[in-house]
């Protein structure tokens, strides 16, 4: 079976980003975004999703991390959509619950072709180190808009913001992995009554 891979670059006045993704990988990862906490979270997606992921980014982090985080989400979303192809034979839906000590999150994914994000997370503090916790939403909004997926994120509990965010990214990786897997009972079949996704 041919591995589902893509390379995508995004070049704007604010950021220059390149992404390589292999959906059928083993979790190999390399990140140089200039935002260390984002690198740590992207590693969770790769390792828990068994997705090979390389991200290089240069952004205007001297202003803040917003453009870099959002544009990394956009570019990974574009790469994921390209790598996924026509979606025939995939499970389409995926979900995961992930705990980390006191924190617990659930993520549900639908490769619907329609972008939609519902995220409910009351983070315990506004920053994790230098990372603004609001950028978690911006990353996922960028991914959703450009991958064309429906994504529901719920952080049920947690009093450590690092743990809260990490459970979200781990669950996201696992939900992506489930949704992108080929279903042997759906071999070559489009998982939609519409005939396309």
Structural domain harbouring 106 = 5-186
The average pLDDT across 180-197 equals 84
pLDDT tens digits for range 56-90: 999 999 999 999 999 999 999 999 999 999 999 99
Q: Which of 28-37, 72-81, 169-178, 179-188 has the lowest mean pLDDT?
A: 179-188
The answer to whether position 128 is within a domain reads: yes
- Nearest-angstrom CA–CA distance, 147 and 22: 15
Local confidence band at 1 (pLDDT 50, 70, 90 cut-offs): low
- The pTM for the full model equals 0.96
Return all residues near 194 (Cβ < 8 A) that are at least 6 apart. Answer: none
The answer to whether position 197 is within a domain reads: no
Residues linked to residue 15 through DSSP beta bridges, in sequence order? 59
User: What mean pLDDT, rounded, does the chain reach?
Assistant: 96
Assign residue 132 the CATH number of its domain.
3.30.230.40
What total of structural domains would you count in the chain? 1
Local confidence band at 189 (pLDDT 50, 70, 90 cut-offs): confident
- Nearest-angstrom CA–CA distance, 46 and 54: 9
**Which of 55-93 are b and which e, b meaning 16 or more Cβ less than 10 Å from the residue's Cβ?**
bbbebebeeebbbbbbbbbbbbbbbbbbbbeebebbbbe
The answer to whether position 175 is within a domain reads: yes
Cα angle vertex 35, ends 180, 9, to 5°?
55
């Amino acid at each position: 079976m041919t591995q589902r891979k893509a390379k995508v670059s995004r070049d704007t006045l604010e950021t220059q980003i390149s992404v390589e993704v292999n959906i059928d990988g083993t979790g190999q990862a390399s990140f140089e975004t200039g935002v260390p906490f984002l690198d740590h979270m992207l590693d969770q997606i790769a390792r828990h999703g068994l997705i090979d992921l390389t991200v290089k980014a240069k952004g205007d982090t001297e202003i803040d991390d917003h453009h870099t985080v959002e544009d990394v989400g956009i570019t990974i979303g574009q790469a994921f959509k390209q790598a996924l192809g026509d979606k025939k034979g995939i499970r389409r839906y995926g979900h995961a619950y992930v705990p980390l000590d006191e924190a617990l999150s659930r993520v549900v994914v639908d490769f619907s072709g329609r972008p939609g994000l519902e995220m409910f997370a009351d983070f315990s503090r506004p920053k994790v180190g230098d990372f603004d916790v609001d950028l978690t939403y911006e990353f996922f909004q960028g991914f959703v808009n450009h991958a064309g997926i429906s994504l529901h994120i719920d952080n049920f509990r947690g009093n450590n913001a690092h743990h809260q965010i990490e459970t979200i990214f781990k669950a996201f990786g696992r939900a992506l992995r489930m949704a992108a897997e080929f279903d042997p009972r759906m071999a070559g079949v489009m998982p939609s009554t519409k005939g396309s996704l």
